[in-house]
Structure formats: C-alpha cells, structure tokens
Structure 1
Amino acid sequence: MKHQRTGDIYLRHIRYSFIIDFEQFLRKGPSLQSSNRLNNNGVMKHLSRLKKMMNLALDLEWVDKNPFARYKLKFHKHKSEFLEKHELELLKNAFVPEEGHRIVRDVFVFSCYTGLAYSDVKKLKQGNVMRGIDGRFWLFLERTKTNYPLRIPLLEEAMLILERYRDAPGKVKDALLPVFVNQKMNSYIKEVAKKIGIDKNLTFHSARHTFATTVTLSNGVPIATVSKLLGHTKITTTQIYARVLEDKISADMEGLRSVLRNNSESDSGFASGW
C-alpha cells in the first residue's frame, strides 16, 4: 500500500474515517523510528494522544463533535515478570564479577525494595533521604510520571545498597546511585538473570512489580498502603501489580482452616454442656 504525504488538517475536519485510516497507517505504513513497525500498544498510544487533543478541542469548543466518540482504544495486556521470593534472594546474593552488571543488579534490587520506577531512581539525590515520622530514613520525592508525592520508608536491604555506593567513583555528583541509561539497565539485568539461572524476561520495571507483589502484598502489607508507596492515585491501578502468590494463598487458607477448626471445637463444647 502506497502512502502519500498530505498537508495540514484542521481539527474540525477530522472524522471517524480519518482515525481508522490513521490507525492503518501506523500499523502498515513506514516505520517512524526504526526498521521495526509499531506493535499494537504503540499504535494505541499514538491514537490516545490524538484522542486527548480532540477531547481538549471539544472542551474549548473548537470542534462540535468528537470523532473518537465511537472509537475504542484496544490495548493488549502483557504479562509483566516479577521475582518470587527465592528468585529475589538468589539475585540479591549472587556473585556478579563484572562491575557494570553488578551495579545494575544492585540498582535493580534497590528498586525491588522501594518500588521506584527507573526515572525516579535515576533522579534520586542526597537531599531525597530524610528522617521520617518514625525517626528512620525515608525517601521524599515526586514521581516523574505524575508529580505525585512519594514518601517511602527505606528498608534495610535498600539502605545497604545506598551505603555501598555512598562514595562510588564515577557517580554523578550528588546522585544516590550510579544509574545507566534504561536500555543498558534492561540488557544487563537480563544477562545477569540468565547467568544465575532465572528464566524470566526481566526488565527494570520488573523490580516495581516485585516490590508490589513479593516484598509487600505477599507479606501482608495492605493494598491501600502499597498503592500509596507506588504513587498510584487509584487502588484499581495497584491491582494490576497485585498478584497474590500461591504460598500466600496457602498460608491464608491454613489460617482460615485453623479458625474454622477452633470454631467447630468451641461449638462442640458448647453443645455438650447442654
């Protein structure tokens, strides 16, 4: 299919048919950035930006109708990897001889115990560490993505990593940790995982999932608290991360069995007294 460049199009001239044609262009047209064409979610992100612009135009009364009224964005859900407890321990304690890989492993583990996204870890400065309400060290910052204020108590595992890199050579001035570009972080953590026998397609974002699932929720931290730590404005967003592990389900059901057993015994004793 041959595509021809056209001139500018006024917002008031955009129709539903234009959206359909634009979607097909994004799916089948020439690549915008590299030799690889956009995947479905990449296409939907571009359309989502156009939809926001059209919503604004409607609010400002620049257009009479929104052509997106009958168009539904269709994102594909992807399974995001996270580390289970034994995998996190394996990664944390593994001997990693290459310095660059070791740094990436440590920064990844730091995120596993703080829940911070890559962009937030990268911008951490000395001034972000303060004493919290309990007298212990906390991280005080705003999420890069949403400007939502974050207040995160630093667990011992995270504190140990900060101490390890307190005076690290080559670290950006005033930075808490040496953080490489995101592409290198993702590449190195995959290589480290493969070398130590973790058969998962990890990315740096997997650390955030690990914090939500393995470090907090599976250890009984309420989802409302986890939501605040992750910087979510809605608990429904946190539920995407809230994968309850099988051992947690087993432990909870064992507790339920104990309660039911005790209730049954109490009822039996009460009946026998009559």
Structure 2
Amino acid sequence: MKKVKRSTFKVLFYLKKNAPKKNGKVAIMGRITIDNQVAQFSTKLEILPQKWDLKYGRVTGKTEEATQLNRKLEEIRSRMVTHYEELMKYEGVVTAQKLKATFLGIGVMEDSLLKVYEKFKEDFALMVEKGVRSWRTLNKYENVYTHLSEFIQYKYHRSDISFKELTEDFINDFDFYLRVNKSLTHNTIWVYMMPLCKMVEIAIDKGIIYRNPFKNYISSMEEKDRGYLLREEVETLLQYHPKSASVELVRDLFVFSCFTGFSYIDIKQLKKSHLQSFFDGNKWLIKRRQKSDVPCNVRLLDIAEKIIEKYDGTTRTDTLFPVPSNANCNLLIKKMMKDCNIIREKPISFHWARHTFGTLFLTEGVPLESVSKMMGHKNIKTTQIYAKITNEKISKDMEIAAERLKNLKIG
C-alpha cells in the first residue's frame, strides 16, 4: 500500500543582522518552511544581537523584555499553526507563500475585519437616518469599532487584520484588553462583544471564514437589580398634583410608560398611525421598537387611553405627545419623586417606568410570554430579569395558598 506523504511544516525565528538600527537592535524575522519551500516575514519585533539564542531561536534571559518578546514569538508561532491547520482542512494544500499571505492578510484584506465593520456601520447609519434603527445603537457600534482598532494596533502593530486572524485567542485577548486596559465592567464587555459576533456572522455568510471563533467563548450578562416602582408608588404618582404643566406632562409620560412598557425614545416616536383598533375591539399601540426593530403590540388600558386623549392636538405633527428632552424629563422626574416621597439609593430615571411595567404586570399575573411580547424582547430571558419577586407578589401567592389550605387541621 502506497503511503501518503505528509507535509513538513515548521516555523523558526532568526535575526536580520545585516541591517542594525541606530539603537543597536536588529529585527527579528520569521521563516516558514513547508516541503522545502521557504517564505520569510517580519515579526515587527527587535532585540540586541547579544541577547539572542541562535540555537533555540529565542531571546535569552528572564528579564521582563525577554519574557514579553518570547511570549509574542510563541503567539506568532501558535497563530501560524492555526492558519496552517485551517488551510489544510478546508483547501487541502498549503504552500509557504500561501501561509505567509494568509498570516499577514495579503490578498484577503479587502474583506478584513475593520473594512467589513466600516461597511456595516455605513449601512447602519443609513437605517438610523430613516428612523429604522437608533442613534444609541450606532454609537455602541462606533465605540466597539474604536476599541477594536486600538486593540489591533496595540496587539499586532497594524491598522487591521484579516478575518482568518480572528481566532479564539483574539477574542479572549480582546476580552482581557477591555477588562484590564480599558477597565470596562463585565456587562459592558458582554454588550461590546455582540457587534464583533455580528462581524463573524457576516464573514461566515460571505465564506471568508469557515468556523465561528466565538464557539467556546463563554460569557453572559450578570443579572443586576433593575429599578422599578411598586404598585402603591405608581398609585401615589396617579394622585400627585404637579404645580407646573411641564412636571404634569412628564408625570403623564412616565405613567404612560408604566402602563405600556414603551421606552422614552419609542414614546417620542409614537404617531397616530400606531394607534389602531384591533381584532378584539380594543385600542392597541402597534409599533416596532427603535432599539431592536422587534414588534411590540400593547393593548391600551384606560389610564393610557386617557393620557393619549389628554394630549390630542397638542403637537404640530402627527406625534401623540409633545415629549421634552430625555435629560429634562429625568430632571423633572427627580423633583416629582421627591415631592411624592419616593426615595431610592440610585436616581430614578425615565427608564424605570419601563422596568415598572415589566414588574407590575408580572406581579399582577400576566404570563411571562405575554409581557415579553408586549415589551418587544427578542429573548424571553431578558423578560425574566424583570420577574423580580416582590413582597407584594409573595403576599398574594401566600394568600392564595392560605385559602387553599385553610381547612387543613392537625389532629
């Protein structure tokens, strides 16, 4: 039986001694050898010649400089091996020049990470201009792009990388960079990884890469207590008599959010066309969320209907409400809560009203699935965060249990 010849593959490092720099250091070069074919490349690293171990192709000593350089050389070797194995798996043959080109991103940089990201941002900005997506989400994509660009420069000393270099190690290193170098919180990092996940999806769809480097990346949002008002506090707001029209408007908008679950931006965008009579004869608000473009259909309760009627004809456009700026709303909410003696450790913002909707209606027995649909959540796990078991909920549950068990007696 004829034996299949295996490719011989190795990577070693050497010094470019014939071109010393002014500081006396020389460049550390890399050499790829596959089946006696050779390709050389620059590692973008340098060292004094006397500190180089010619036999082992590494820096001598245990100084911080030596440790860092040797670690970077090992990272290059590891990435080279990963590229080699991937090319063998999906293309069946690898040459030294092909591996070098893949490693450096030569020939594939038209579909590099940041170029694809830039095109995505341009398309997203057009959707924002048309009101389909939000400026807030675009700003998140901009922030992540900046962090990625800075990380690539910091880690690879270049302005971009090919998607083939976007490995599990890249993701873990980027996570570490955001966590340590940028001092970002766990949940912020989790949110910032989502745009990078999106870029990976695009690359896989376009056939640029074949596997998902996020496959073994384990991270999830840490659950945080979301601020909300209790039912009796909402009732206090309903009975509150503001001393100015501006505070009254903000009170009404806050209460409207408590009974519809709409966020500030969605309330600001509400138009008369979103108000419809539905299959059951009741009035509904039918709208896609600005943040996620997910539909949220909410049947209006009497309180919400009356607030809409109250402000009918007060705007110059077809919007339902004359909504002040978010900053102004939050300023007046602070005054309003102080007047109503509703005190929290953290400042109460407009978004608390949306949290209140989720908690209030779950407490009142509306099924989790229904609340999730009304809030326009993509994932029911998001809604579960709102399902905080308040003392009121516990009391109600125990009342039901007490009624069922009241006839039980001990002998």
Q: Is the 8 A contact 1:48 1:73 kept in 2?
A: no
Residue 10 of structure 1: aligned partner: 162
Q: Give distance in 2, aligned partners of 1:18 and 1:228.
A: 37
State the TM-score, normalized to the length of structure 1: 0.80
Q: Give distance in 2, aligned partners of 1:243 and 1:108.
A: 20
Q: Give distance in 2, aligned partners of 1:252 and 1:223.
A: 16
Q: CA deviation at 1:96?
A: 2.4
Unaligned residue ranges in structure 1 (runs of 5+): 31-36, 269-274
Deviations 1:168-217 (A, max 9, x none): 2xx35111012233333334323422342211232222112211222x22
- Structure of larger gyration radius: 2
Q: Could you say if the C-alpha distance between residues 123 and 29 of structure 1 is closer, same or farther in structure 2, counting changes exceeding 3 Å?
A: same
Residue 240 of structure 1: aligned partner: 385
Q: CA deviation at 1:113?
A: 0.7
Task: In structure 1, give the amino acid aligned to 2:285.
Answer: L
The residue matched to 2:297 in structure 1 has which SS?
A: strand
Work out which of the residue numbers 150, 155, 162 in structure 1 matches 2:301. Answer: 155
Say how many residue pairs are matched.
255
Q: CA deviation at 1:152?
A: 1.7
Q: Could you say if the C-alpha distance between residues 26 and 185 of structure 1 is closer, same or farther in structure 2, counting changes exceeding 3 Å?
A: farther
Q: CA deviation at 1:230?
A: 1.9
Task: In structure 2, give the amino acid aligned to 1:183.
Answer: A
How big is the alpha-carbon RMSD for the aligned residues of Structure 1 and Structure 2?
2.8
Q: Could you say if the C-alpha distance between residues 248 and 39 of structure 1 is closer, same or farther in structure 2, counting changes exceeding 3 Å?
A: closer
Q: Could you say if the C-alpha distance between residues 261 and 197 of structure 1 is closer, same or farther in structure 2, counting changes exceeding 3 Å?
A: closer
Residue 271 of structure 1: aligned partner: none
Q: Is the 8 A contact 2:270 2:320 kept in 1?
A: yes
Work out which of the residue numbers 189, 193, 208 in structure 1 matches 2:337. Answer: 193
Q: 1:86-235 to 2 correspondence within 5 Å?
A: 86-168=232-314, 171-200=315-344, 201-214=347-360, 216-235=361-380
Greater Cα shift, 97-106 or 46-55: 97-106
Q: Could you say if the C-alpha distance between residues 207 and 247 of structure 1 is closer, same or farther in structure 2, counting changes exceeding 3 Å?
A: same
Give percent identity, aligned residues only.
36
State the TM-score, normalized to the length of structure 2: 0.55
Greater Cα shift, 133-142 or 69-78: 69-78
Unaligned residue ranges in structure 2 (runs of 5+): 1-150
The structure that is strand-richer by fraction is: 2
